[in-house]
Amino acid sequence: MVFTDILMSFNFVIAQTQDTGIMNWLVEKYNAGGGFMHPILACFVIGLGFVIERMWTLTRASINTKDFVVKVKKALMDEGIDKAKEICTQTRGPVASVFYAGLLRADEGLDSAEKAIMAYGGIEMGFLEKGLIWISTFITIAPMLGFTGTVQGMIEAFDAIKEAAQISPAIVAEGIAVALLTTLFGLVVAMILQVFYNYFVSRIDKLISDMEASSIELIDALYELKNKK
């Protein structure tokens, strides 16, 4: 009997969604979810703000690293350090910034250039990872808020039973709806932000890997240039 009631409710929700539209259904369920829906929505909106900012930053940071390294090495061997630095200033992204820092110290020796590359590489890594901690925070907070709303909804349901002195679906429906909706929305928000977070981590790992491999090639090129002289 209980399973039949649940199935009928599920079918009703699907039919209602098809009739009124997904947006109307979402607004309706948002309003029915109670007060905890507001901080969950805030987590989603602010989290998406950080997602958009990271998307823009990482897109600008991505370049064709192989072509860039070839251009810098060719300029370094044919026209010297100044020409290589000029190419770095005309190229965006962390790899170009790290190269430029190394080339600035190239006249002081390979050790100085290598230390500059390592130091500036750490700065660029921090810049790439900036904002990820907040996305991770909202991934954690959103379902916690949902579970807190669930507890509140169950308390409301039991309070309604206590006042009515009987158990009836009509009496506990509102409290249980709050309990289920806040959990649902909290989990959905966390899952959406988690997908973006994992994507950004993979992008950053690739950028760091390219930066480290390219830096080794730059040191080798400086070593060859020194021996050439």
pLDDT score of 115: 86
Burial class of residue 25 (count of CB atoms within 10 Å of its CB; 0-12, 13-18, 19+): middle
| Stretch among 1-10, 158-167, 171-180, 213-222 having the lowest mean pLDDT | 1-10
Beta-carbon contacts of residue 54 (< 8 Å; ≥ 6 apart)? 131, 132, 135, 196, 200
pLDDT tens-digit series, residues 56-93: 988 888 888 888 888 888 888 888 888 888 888 888 88
* Residue-by-residue DSSP string for 118-160: HHHHHHHHHHHHTTHHHHHHHHHHHHHHHHHHHHHHHHHHHHH
pLDDT score of 5: 43
CB 152 within 8 A of CB 178: yes
- Report whether pLDDT(95) > 80: yes
pLDDT tens-digit series, residues 145-196: 988 888 877 777 667 666 766 665 655 666 666 677 888 889 999 999 999 9
SS3 33: coil
| pTM for the structure as a whole | 0.76
DSSP state of 24: H
Residue spans per domain, the chain: 64-129+214-228
- Report whether pLDDT(125) > 80: yes
Report percent pLDDT > 70 for the chain: 74
- Report whether pLDDT(198) > 90: yes
150 vs 97, which has greater pLDDT? 97
